[in-house]
Structure 1
Amino acid sequence: MDAQSILDGLNSDQRAAVLHDHQKGAQLLILAGAGSGKTSVLTKRIQYRIAMGVDPEKILALTFTAKAAAEMRERVQKLFPKAGVRLCTFHSLALFMLKQKIGSRFAYEMVGFKKPPVPQESAERDFLTKLSRLRIPSGKLNREELFADTYPASLVPKLKTLRQGVLDSGSVVFEDLIYLAISLLEKHREARDYFRAQWSEILVDEYQDINPSQYRLVKALLGSRKELFVVGDDDQAIYGFRGADIGNINRFCEDFKESSLIRLEWNYRSVPEILHLANSIFENKPLRLRKVLRAGNTRGSGGNPLYRENRRPEVWYSENPVEEMLKIVGWIKELRESYELEWKNFAILVRYNRQRLYYEAALKDAGLPIAGVELDEGETLENGVHVETVHASKGLQYAVVFYAGLAEGLTPGECQGSRAERQRQLDEERRLYYVGVTRAEAYLILLYCKQRFWKGKLRKFKKSRFLPQARPKNEELKLPLILFKIYVVVRVLFVMFEHILKLPFVYLFHKNEVDLWVDKKIQWFSNFCMDIINIDLTIEDQALLGKVDWTRPVFVMGNHNSFVDIPVVFLTIERTIGFIAKAQLGRIPFLNFWMHKIGCIFINREKGGGADLVREALAHGRVPRISVFPEGTRGKSDDLAPFKSGSFRLAIEAQATILPVVIKGSAGAWERRRDCGRKKVTSRVLEPIDVRALMQEKGELEPRRDLMNVIRERMETAL
């Protein structure tokens, strides 16, 4: 199998992950947003390493369920049918390790077993009886944690009796296997050397779900080596009640100082409006762990018009459950007929299982088929409306999602304990809400019912704190045009100055996150500009950005009709990017500061020399990404002005990627504005051109013929 073909179809971030060099970039943490293809990246990484000559038996890949491991194994073996990669769960790995013969004895004998360990379900009643005999309060010891090494010294003698009973009988619970495998690696050098030699590369899926003992097992297997490749989404860490510790993701960069971080932010599941809501859920997260989901599907699923409509998520309010169900049933029937959807394209998601039972009964009464529910004839349906808890829906997706129970006490659920414990639970409830939101592909309806029967009585509920706030409507200023423009300029300059004052505090308290803070503020500022100038911005074909390798030089080339084009470009590519600007702009208060901060290049139009400045900047690696307007100056009309070839020559020198962007309506929103009303501006991303790849294909390129004329023709067609 050709290694290059494995990379086909990957976006630039996925590709960077699959190609990651552990020797240069050390351990790798991939923060994978919902619907970003994380499992595909992990399996392609395994395939790629095998194609590059790595012995499959030297690769260890861990996940959390036998089903997930089987699915990953099936994907890998499509290309390499006989590959002996160990793809397994943590518990099956630990059991495998304990049953290996190392030298003259089995590994399980090294940790004290008299016979091979056999996993069984926890016999909680027998265990509680034994605790009582030893006069150990039941709240002080969990059966799953029997072999943990964190107990006080006063308790250890009593634990020895319990542990010895397990070692003598071989009857273990699953978590015993993890702790004993850790003990094997940490206390027996012969075993540690044996297993580290057995696997040279370790990969972990769903990394956000591992608990502290599983984390220790991975670290013990890895040792001081760099070959650790983990994929996870801290925003989908919803198994704290099972012992999963989200802190493992937060600590990754601290534990592995030389490690690398890649974000997978292209979502291939949901329409942009749903992703806009999903992104708003974690606005207060630490900057270094924040992700921005972007819609990576330009055509929609199967071409169904429901996807192209890009509906904004709706909030439905109901007085009682009967009113709510009438709305749900009626809307399912109407959408199904109008868009030719199947019953299985609809889902009702709930927080608790008892809610699920209610909605299943209500749908059955209404005569709608329900997936997984047994029919009167004893058959089980595959093609019906799905009703399930959010936990059960993780990893699934539906065209239309009704997310029920958006009320305090339901979503979020009730939080108990100390203040810190309640906050941890609330954080997990927020992540659970995010999982529910991102199950929707085309249409999301959030349901709030004021009163319903709950736990045996009729109760009134308050609206959930998670419900999105209605987007404020900007009041259109009824001002003379000149006063409107003065008002806008003053507000914009004030905002620039305000954030200059904030920057020293970012340097002081978040020194390592300054660039991330600037990126965030540039996006916020660009949105602010759209609001204050009364612009409705539409971005088309943004998914094409996923083809751009942002680790290399990128020239964003667009037509130029207005000052407004700059924030429009920022919002279009959702990245901070420098641009070539007239030296006179450097005289504008506060604007000068930010232009230097984002890496702009100032040129004197009369003296020229702009190309030399760009070359110098690129040579020093200071501006690997710049925005260029090949017309040179702002056009006087919506038609393209003549292009200059200098920037295309530079693109060839830098072997850059050229990303064409076409902007419509920006001049009418500012320079040629005639009133204070709202204006429509459209920005469209065109197919990027990888100059380096083009040179490899064609050899030497002629700037005008091979680049300038081609891009100009594309932009004229788009206009």
Structure 2
Amino acid sequence: MRFVADLHIHSKYSRACSRDCDLEHLTWWARRKGISLVGTGDFTHPAWYDHLGENLVEAAPGVFRLRDDLDRDIDRRLPPSLAGAPVRFMLSVEISTIYKRGDRTRKVHHLIYMPDLSSAARFNARLAKIGNLGSDGRPILGLDSRDLLEITLECGGYLVPAHVWTPWFAVLGSKSGFDAIEDCYVDLASHVFAVETGLSSDPEMNWRVSGLDKYRLVSNSDAHSPPVLGREATVFDTELDYYSVRKALETGEGFAGSLEFFPEEGKYHVDGHRKCGVRMEPRETSAHNGTCPECGKPLTVGVLSRVEELADRPHGARPPGAAGFTSLVPLPEVVSEIVGTGPKSKKVLAEIDKLTAALGPELVILRDVPVDDIAAHSPLLAEAVTRLRRGEVVRDSGYDGEYGVIRVFEPGELERRRSAFALFDYDAPRPSTVERPRPAPAPVAAAAVPAPVVAGSSLLDGLDPEQRAAAEVDGGPLLIIAGPGTGKTRTLTHRIADLVTSRGVPAAQCLAITFTRRAAEEMAERLAALAPDAVGELTIATFHSLGVLILREHGAAFGLSASFGVADPERQLAVASSVVADEKEARALVAAGDARYKKALRAQDLVDFDDLITLPLALLEESAALVDAYRARWRWVSVDEYQDVDEQQYRLLRLLVPPDGNLTAIGDPDQAIYRFRGADVGFFLRFREDFPGARTVQLTRNYRSSAAVVAGALEVIAPSSLVPGRELRPMADHGDAPIGVHHASSEAAEAAFVARTVEQVLGGASFHAFDSGRVVGDGTQGLGFADFAVLYRTDRQSRALVEALTRSGLPFQKRSHDRLADRPGVARIAHDLRFAAGETVSERVRAVAGDDHTAYELLKPLAASCGTDFERFHSALALGVEVDTWDPRADRISLLTLHASKGLEFPVVFIVGCEDGLLPLRWPGADDAEAVDEERRLLFVGMTRARRHLFLSHTSGRPRSPFLAALESYERLGDAQPRRRRKGTQLSLL
């Protein structure tokens, strides 16, 4: 059976798509066009997935038809020449992946096909752990293309790279793609067997690239409204089912070629700059070194140039066995040229209605109906179709997002023929230009080969002078004041490695203490690379894991076995509840560390988190012999983030290290932000009093942030810096983007600014961003979603951000990686819902709720406990997904508090809510100068998380933060009245 398929379309749930993109309209237009197989599009969108399940029935293996009652209603609205033609649907979706690989931002679109709704549901479940499926029918995921292919294969589907040459969002695109399909999908590339050529190229252009010979070259409309179905399509000669289509694409048997746009009509065919009205052929682009002669900015390199760049065959080459193709102009455009009105005008549509009623579907008229039969209705149309079938057209190429124009009549010709041919009433045709010749390929310059790096002879050779001075200090107390981004961990690990590899210090005598498990793991990884033979003997611990070690060895003094357990919060409450029946009183016992509660813990061979410091401290304070034993065991002690120690940790350290001992303390008092946890920066400031012989080294070379970020952070911290003569010198080359200070009218406007600016810095996350003019440039290349962080003082501020990013379709996470069942409060919710064995959250919620409102109320706390927004959580659960973990491969924007950002860094940082009352956060009745100083340090920490771009934002709801007074000279963005905002301001930061 020979049939036409259009397997790349969108539903009404995709951005910038017609509300008529539903199954009924798609079926009506498919019959009008003569298309037998249509992609459903957008099956990942929860509402569209439900719609498909409710309105489609299986017609053959893997393909569906419209429900009988709906199908009959459509036939009643069609002429007999079109009614009753079979229209089948195949489950399809376009996925946009934006991620970083090889220091470049990659933006690649993919078409995914599934054989049945259950396979689609499994696929949706997997993607729901990666991104937001509910905001756009074409979801944007921060996922590597290779990983998307893997998920597709595991769910039983197949993948076709979409519009492979499009500059902005394609596997071979000039802006963010690769030079070969294999480079994109790496080890799984053999599972790709077809590629979509897109509107701006045709098979003849693709035949010039021998690397594409192994792939079937398919074409589809990428329809955003039903009337453009079939503007490009693929022809098959197989049975009309999913498996036959897939086999034809895999083997070529039954693959009968494609129906094509003339590629010049595509909106990225040649090079250009739409804003300046500049359009160039490849040779012209090369002569101008790829820059716009009007504004000097880079041109958008089109498909023709990109094909020339990768081509290894001459024009006209055709690989053996390649399927043919037919180039067409959609019938409404042909009639539009004749009658002189737009292709969507009532006059054109009326003429198409007459033609299809008399002659059959549009594609049949263009390809198969005898010209004499067409001439009986319109001699001009017959002439136009004759020329079209011979490829005799006038071409005006598209560029940089502007569609080209294809004409079948020369300028003025219709006027001359008016008297000879008349069927349609028509106005004068619009002028056109003649076809431009295709140029020969331009030479491609060879890439520069970097010189090899020669390693030094010492572990310390790679350190800068300040870092080396710190690392080389011999025994005794050492205080290293390490400003943000100055290589604190690098210095400390090189010092330890040098001690054990070059200075004869036994590795077993070295103890390194950090504050978080993540920091300890990073330190262990670095030391494993620097001193692989010694790392196994080093002790690398957090304060609490050090406490576990001491208690494993000496916990018998408290009645603990060597295999004692550490009670989590749920277990602590359970133990306290065994002492007192009232839950509120039990919680109070835990909070106060009540003796009865502690005794009950010991009876179960348990300790709690606080015990991991208090019990070892009590052991050492009561036993001088034990102190001597540990001092002899660990003669070299290093402590990271020393400004964050609390009183008990400080006392423990003073017992482990004598006043003249080999203690290295490293940190920065201007980053002391954890007073609410009991941390006391005073211990850092009195280090030289506690250790009179201590030497001090400062690290002042910042390798993280741009010069503007460093300068701004220093200005903010200056009024209350705890480092005399505070100095930071920027060493990184991140460009000259200034700090942006944004004034928004509300929290919602502030969040919208964040979403909009993410797209601008990223260089666009969708075609709509370019078509709407929201993004007009490449942005900052080499970024993925994980390179963006939005910081705020309180968690409540995240709500508006979640809503804005969800509306924009941008993937994000509130930084949390715990399993659902392990998160606070979830165990209680699960208990209240009384889960059956193996039952999913969604199944239990549906069983318990009974109605949508109750289900919503049950799901909201679960979503909050997952650290995600309700819409994303619900999108997953609506498909039966258990949202217990996010896929670790996902690449997402980070939303986190300023406190949680400590120790992290990002190329792009937003700090929202820079307002008095939020930053500094002012507690009612409190007037604490040190608290305000710590809030200033908190802003200093947040600002120095940024590498390239830093945006500070405040709203009209509160007075501006007094901390921003130091930044009066920095670039101001936006206004409380958004419409008065100066054009291009944000882009100037890039």
Provide the TM-score with structure 1 as the length reference.
0.55
Equivalent position of 1:30 in the other structure: 480
Residue 320 (1) aligns with residue 746 (2): yes
Residue 365 (1) aligns with residue 807 (2): yes
Equivalent position of 1:42 in the other structure: 492
One-letter amino acid of the structure 1 residue matched with residue 542 of structure 2? T
Unaligned runs of 5+ in 1: 101-106, 147-158, 301-306, 451-459, 474-719
Between the two proteins, the alignment pairs up a number of residues equal to 429
Residues 223 and 325 of structure 1: CA distance in aligned 2, closer, same or farther (over 3 Å): closer
Residues 353 and 293 of structure 1: CA distance in aligned 2, closer, same or farther (over 3 Å): same
Residues 130 and 427 of structure 1: CA distance in aligned 2, closer, same or farther (over 3 Å): farther
Equivalent position of 1:253 in the other structure: 688
Unaligned runs of 5+ in 2: 1-454, 764-777, 815-867, 971-990
One-letter amino acid of the structure 1 residue matched with residue 507 of structure 2? P
Deviations, residues 378-428 of structure 1 (Å, cap 9, x unaligned)? 674732333222222222222222211111222222335653xx3333222
Deviations, residues 49-107 of structure 1 (Å, cap 9, x unaligned)? 1112211111001111222111111111113324210001111111211222xxxxxx2
Conserved 8 A contact 1:263-1:291: no
Conserved 8 A contact 1:111-1:183: no
Q: For 2:915, which of 407, 412, 417 is the aligned residue?
A: 407
Greater alpha carbon shift after TM alignment, 162-171 vs 399-408: 162-171
Distance in 1, Cα, partners of 2:762 & 2:464: 33
Equivalent position of 2:545 in the other structure: 92
Identity %: 33
Q: For 1:428, what is the secondary structure of its paired residue?
A: helix
Residue 439 (1) aligns with residue 945 (2): yes
What are the within-5 Å matches in structure 2 for residues 446-465 of structure 1?
Answer: 446-450=952-956, 460-465=957-962
Equivalent position of 2:785 in the other structure: 343
Residue 110 (1) aligns with residue 557 (2): yes
Q: For 2:516, which of 44, 61, 65 is the aligned residue?
A: 65
Q: CA deviation at 1:342?
A: 3.0
Q: For 2:728, which of 289, 293, 311 is the aligned residue?
A: 293
Equivalent position of 2:645 in the other structure: 210
Equivalent position of 1:524 in the other structure: none
Equivalent position of 2:663 in the other structure: 228
What are the within-5 Å matches in structure 2 for residues 176-195 of structure 1?
Answer: 176-195=611-630
Q: For 2:664, what is the secondary structure of its paired residue?
A: strand
One-letter amino acid of the structure 1 residue matched with residue 508 of structure 2? E
Conserved 8 A contact 2:907-2:946: yes
Equivalent position of 1:425 in the other structure: 931
One-letter amino acid of the structure 2 residue matched with residue 212 of structure 1? E
Deviations, residues 499-550 of structure 1 (Å, cap 9, x unaligned)? xxxxxxxxxxxxxxxxxxxxxxxxxxxxxxxxxxxxxxxxxxxxxxxxxxxx
Deviations, residues 464-493 of structure 1 (Å, cap 9, x unaligned)? 1111345579xxxxxxxxxxxxxxxxxxxx
Q: Tell me which structure has the larger Cα radius of gyration.
A: 2
Residues 70 and 64 of structure 1: CA distance in aligned 2, closer, same or farther (over 3 Å): same
Residues 60 and 229 of structure 1: CA distance in aligned 2, closer, same or farther (over 3 Å): same
Conserved 8 A contact 1:59-1:86: yes
Q: For 1:274, which of 703, 709, 719 is the aligned residue?
A: 709
One-letter amino acid of the structure 2 residue matched with residue 267 of structure 1? N
Distance in 1, Cα, partners of 2:457 & 2:523: 20
Q: CA deviation at 1:113?
A: 4.5
Equivalent position of 2:905 in the other structure: 397
One-letter amino acid of the structure 2 residue matched with residue 262 of structure 1? V
Q: CA deviation at 1:329?
A: 3.2
Equivalent position of 1:467 in the other structure: 964
Conserved 8 A contact 1:349-1:390: yes
Greater alpha carbon shift after TM alignment, 283-292 vs 431-440: 283-292
Residue 354 (1) aligns with residue 807 (2): no
Distance in 1, Cα, partners of 2:678 & 2:955: 32
Residue 121 (1) aligns with residue 568 (2): yes
Residues 217 and 145 of structure 1: CA distance in aligned 2, closer, same or farther (over 3 Å): farther
Residues 145 and 65 of structure 1: CA distance in aligned 2, closer, same or farther (over 3 Å): farther
Equivalent position of 1:13 in the other structure: 466
Q: CA deviation at 1:131?
A: 9.6
One-letter amino acid of the structure 2 residue matched with residue 118 of structure 1? G
Conserved 8 A contact 1:145-1:176: no
Distance in 2, Cα, partners of 1:86 & 1:115: 19
Distance in 2, Cα, partners of 1:144 & 1:50: 43
Distance in 1, Cα, partners of 2:670 & 2:576: 36
Residues 416 and 89 of structure 1: CA distance in aligned 2, closer, same or farther (over 3 Å): farther
Conserved 8 A contact 2:700-2:727: yes
Greater alpha carbon shift after TM alignment, 32-41 vs 422-431: 422-431
Counting helix residues as a fraction of each chain, which structure ranks higher?
A: 1
Q: CA deviation at 1:161?
A: 5.7
Q: For 1:5, what is the secondary structure of its paired residue?
A: coil
Conserved 8 A contact 2:755-2:804: no
Provide the TM-score with structure 2 as the length reference.
0.40
Q: CA deviation at 1:284?
A: 3.2
Residues 287 and 167 of structure 1: CA distance in aligned 2, closer, same or farther (over 3 Å): closer
Distance in 2, Cα, partners of 1:144 & 1:116: 25
Deviations, residues 246-265 of structure 1 (Å, cap 9, x unaligned)? 22111212211221121111
Conserved 8 A contact 1:415-1:425: no
Distance in 2, Cα, partners of 1:212 & 1:187: 17
Distance in 2, Cα, partners of 1:205 & 1:87: 11
What are the within-5 Å matches in structure 2 for residues 539-554 of structure 1?
Answer: none
Distance in 2, Cα, partners of 1:316 & 1:286: 25
Equivalent position of 2:759 in the other structure: 333
Residues 143 and 201 of structure 1: CA distance in aligned 2, closer, same or farther (over 3 Å): farther
Residues 165 and 409 of structure 1: CA distance in aligned 2, closer, same or farther (over 3 Å): same
Residues 143 and 79 of structure 1: CA distance in aligned 2, closer, same or farther (over 3 Å): same
**CA RMSD across the alignment:** 3.2
Distance in 1, Cα, partners of 2:713 & 2:944: 7
One-letter amino acid of the structure 2 residue matched with residue 121 of structure 1? D
Residue 197 (1) aligns with residue 632 (2): yes
Distance in 2, Cα, partners of 1:407 & 1:58: 49
Distance in 1, Cα, partners of 2:612 & 2:685: 26
Q: For 2:684, what is the secondary structure of its paired residue?
A: helix
Residues 64 and 145 of structure 1: CA distance in aligned 2, closer, same or farther (over 3 Å): farther
Q: CA deviation at 1:326?
A: 4.0
Q: CA deviation at 1:333?
A: 2.3
Equivalent position of 1:717 in the other structure: none
Distance in 2, Cα, partners of 1:130 & 1:468: 55
Q: CA deviation at 1:281?
A: 2.2
Q: CA deviation at 1:289?
A: 4.6
One-letter amino acid of the structure 1 residue matched with residue 630 of structure 2? F
Residues 188 and 144 of structure 1: CA distance in aligned 2, closer, same or farther (over 3 Å): farther
